[in-house]
Amino acid sequence: MRTGLAARLGTAALLGAALAFAGTTRAAPRDEVRVYTDSIEGRGKWGLELHFNSMPRPRISTVIPGEPRPASGLVVTPELSYGLSDAVEIEFGFMLPSVRLDDGSSLQVVPHARIKWMPRRAQPQGAQGDWFWGSVLEWSPSPYRRGVSNEDAASHLALRPIIGWRDARWLVAANLLLEWPLGLRNPAASDVRRPEVAPSLKLLRSYSDRFATGLEYHGEWGSARRLLPSGEQAHTLYWIVERRTPFWMSFGIGHGLNRNAGGLSIKGSLEIPLD
């Protein structure tokens, strides 16, 4: 590995560690909050991104017996990606040990692996827009997701179909996250065998080659077999800003649209140049 690359990786790790201990977090972390578009690493190229998101204390906390009570804080996830081809990208990430429970204990580092496939990427010409679509497949050994206790699953498999449209000024992208628990220790828990449904939507307006702003919606709707009542679902809306100077970064500030989604939260991503 080149000296410059090693230095950048070390800088990213230190930055992540500094952010990681900014506060405590609740027991059900989501490693990142984002909407996937048609961006992908080129063939044979490496990419490094640093994602962070806060987890606000819910305004109505549902305490699961045997689980630590929620607490607000921050999760930081560095991700390394590599382009296998012009349409396929693999990605590896790990959550820094920044998740502290109310009883004073901490969750372990949680790795995950993704493969992103984009058979159709937008090729807008002038003012005319173009469509894109693809999907992301992810495996994670994280022992906890919404609605699934630590004892229910050893790992999770997630499929995220992607569809969107872009032109010179506008970007619209939608994801539908479907997440299955694997290795159930309680076969009688039939509900957790069904995928959890979490849709997201992004609307972005570009004002130049370097600046864009817009909105993101993120929802958690419950099991595909039995969606939660609207009052028990989680709906969060973010105002986001994206800027490239010279590297890409994104920042969003959001708030729950209903009481179950929680209060104020932040999220963001930072691209670490490797070239």
- Highest mean pLDDT among 54-63, 123-132, 146-155 belongs to 123-132
Using the predicted structure, report yes or no on whether residue 57 has a pLDDT greater than 70: no
**Ordered domains of the chain (ranges, CATH):** 3-272 (2.40.160.40)
| 246 prior amide bond cis, ω within 30 | yes
Token pair, residue 51, equals 């994602």
Average pLDDT over residues 187-203: 78
> What is the spatial distance between Cα 63 and Cα 262, in angstroms, rounded to a whole number?
14
Token pair listed for 49:
């991104």
Question: Using one digit for the tens of pLDDT, what is the confidence trace for 64-79?
Answer: 455 444 455 567 788 8
For the record, the structure tokens of 189 come out as 């828990």
Cβ contacts of 148 within 8 Å, gap of 6 or more: 181, 192, 196
Residue 15: what pLDDT?
41
Measure the CA–CA gap between 14 and 8, rounded to whole angstroms. Answer: 10
Pair 260, 221: CB distance under 8 Å: no
Confidence of residue 111 (pLDDT cuts 50, 70, 90): confident
| Residue-level pLDDT at 93 | 62
Portion of the chain with pLDDT greater than 70, in percent: 65
Structure-model confidence comparison of residues 125 and 221, the more confident one: 221
Instruction: Provide, for the chain, the percentages of residues in helix, strand and coil under a 3-state DSSP scheme, each rounded to the nearest 5.
Output: 10, 50, 45
Q: What is the pLDDT of residue 134?
A: 95
Contact 112, 31 (CB under 8 A): yes
- Joined tokens for residue 82: 């590599």
Percent of the chain with pLDDT over 90: 30
Residue 187 is predicted with a pLDDT of 58
Which of the pair, 234 or 14, is modelled with greater confidence? 234
Q: What is the mean pLDDT of residues 248-267?
A: 88
Mean pLDDT, residues 157-172 taken together? 94
Structure tokens at 168: 């010179």
Written in H, E and C, the secondary structure of 25-80 is CCCCCCCCCCCCCCCCCCCCCEEEEEEEEECCCCCCCCCCCCCCCCCCCEEEEEEE
Q: For residue 87, what pLDDT band results from cuts at 50, 70 and 90? A: confident
Structure tokens at 13: 């790790």
User: How long, in residues, is the chain?
Assistant: 275
CB 68 within 8 A of CB 27: yes
> pLDDT band for position 136 (50/70/90)?
very high
Distance CA 32, CA 226 (A): 25
Q: What is the pLDDT of residues 197-245, one digit of tens each?
A: 999 999 999 999 899 999 999 999 988 888 888 888 889 999 999 998 7
* pLDDT higher at 47 or 106: 47
Rg of the chain over Cα atoms, rounded to whole angstroms, equals: 19
